[in-house]
Amino acid sequence: MLIREAIETDLPSVIELLKAMDGEDGIDSDEAGAVWCKMMEYPYYKVFVVEDDKRIVGTCSLIIIDNLGHQGAKLAVAESMIVSQDYRGRGMGSKLMQFVMGKAQEENCYKLMLSSNKKRIEAHKFYEQLGFQQHGISFMIEVGNK
């Protein structure tokens, strides 16, 4: 098992994983390439993948955000975390999240946040086992057409 930063040629595999998470058709490859280029322009937006036997079986994105609050301490957001159904229960998700938590620590972030659909009870148990705590209440409003 290898955890590494994704490269553009990993996009088809990452998109397939995300389609399984969202239960949607997913982004088309041309649009994915354009979005990837935008993401890479951010000061710190990394997509990490878990590779097992040269197959990408998990992914998680990490965004580091500068912040005026908390004495200017940065914060981190984990997004789009998924491990292929066939590879769950082998510790790969835990190792990926620990890797992401380590990156947030290296960047001197004061916290790492993530949001999970309230229906994903198994995911919530997974995050709690890693030491995440439910904190506050999350609100959302659809503001776009996608």
pLDDT tens for each residue of 25-35: 778 888 999 99
Domain ranges of the chain: 2-115
Q: Per CATH, is 2-115 categorized as 2.60.40.10?
A: no
Which residue in 54, 109, 117, 108 sits closest to 82, CA to CA? 117
Q: Please tell me the pTM assigned to this model.
A: 0.89
Confidence at residue 146, expressed as pLDDT on a 0 to 100 scale: 57
What CA–CA distance (Å, rounded) separates 62 from 44? 8
